[in-house]
Structure 1
C-alpha cells in the first residue's frame, strides 16, 4: 500500500484505508510513487480486489500479545525446548530450523489492522459501510446456527419433496418469529424459552364445572411478556 511507503507503520485509532490488493503475488496494482491510495475499479484493476483496512488500538494490543506468544513459541521450537510442530515464524534453512524474520516483521507491521476484501466499488458503498456490513454478518451466522440447534431443523427424516418443503417452511417461519422475539425482548431465543417454559396454568374440572388458575409470573418473566406485548392471563 502507498500508506506504508509514505507513513510507515503509523496509524491512528479508528483510521480506515481504502485501497486495492492484488489477486496474485506477481500482480502490481499500487504505485508507491503516488501518495494517495488508488480507488478500486473493476475495469482499471482486473487483477485486484478492493481492500478496506481498519486500525484499532485495542486490536493492536491484542495482536501484539498474540505475536509475542507466537514468537516465544517459535524460538522455543528452534532451540529444542519444545517439540517440533508446525509453528508460525519457524522456517527451515540449510536443514536447520530458524526464525522467519521476514514473516515476523510483516506481521508486526500489520498489528492492529483488519482487512475487508470486496468487489463492491467505492462509488456504490463507502469504506465505513463495507466494515459495518461485515460486522453485521454475525446475524447471518447466528441464523444458520439457530435452525440447527434451537429450532431443531435437523435431523430431517422426510423423503418426499412436499414433506421436506413443509418442514423447511415451518423452520423458517419459526426462525422469523424467533428473530422477532429476540429483537423485541433483547434476549437470545434460548434464554426466552428457558425463562417462559416453566410458566404453566392449571384447569381443574369438578362435577361438570371447570376453573383455570393462571401461573404466578415473576417480575423477570413478566418483563419479557411485556416486551412481547403478551397480556397477563385474564386480561
Structure 2
C-alpha cells in the first residue's frame, strides 16, 4: 500500500468523532511493540483536555507514529480516545505509567515524543531537549543533520517548546526514567498529506533518526 494511503487509513481512528477518537475506550492509549529499542510517543493524536478546556488534536501525529513503527519496527504508544488526562502536561498519569513500563521491560534507549505545531510558527521543526539536558549532544547533532540532509533546514532547538515542564513526556523520560528523550514539534506544513512532498521529507527524516538512535 502506498504511504499516503496508509497515512489516511491510520488517521481514521483518530479523526473518528471529530478527533475525539473512540470515546469511552479504556485504557485511553494503545501500544504497539517492536524490536528496535526506540519508543515513539504520540500523546496528542486526538483532542485533549488541559486546564478546563479542550485543546485540538495534533493532526497526523498518530498516523505518523504508526507509519514509523511499521517502517522501523520500533515501539509505539499513542492516545486512542478522549480523556481528562493530558499525557504531556499532568504529573504522572496512566499514559506515562504505561510508557515507563515499556521503557523498563524492553530496555528502550530513546523516547521520541511527536507533536504538531501551527503552520504559522517560525520553524519547520522545533526540538525540545530541556535545553540540552534530555539527550546527548552528539545525538541531537545527528538528529539535526538528518533533517538537513532531507531538505528540512529550518530546525530550531528549544525555540518555543523546550519540553521543560515537568509534566511532559520528554521530561518524565529524561528525569524519572533516565532515558534519552526528545520532543519533536512538527510544523503543520510538514505533516499535511496534501503537501505530500513536504510530509515525505518528515517521514524519511524520522525514519532515519529512529534507525540511527536505535542502532539499526
Shared fold (TM-score, shorter chain, > 0.5): no
Name the structure, 1 or 2, with higher relative contact order (CA <8 Å, separation 6+): 2
Q: What interval of TM-score do these two structures reach, taking the shorter chain for normalisation?
A: under 0.3
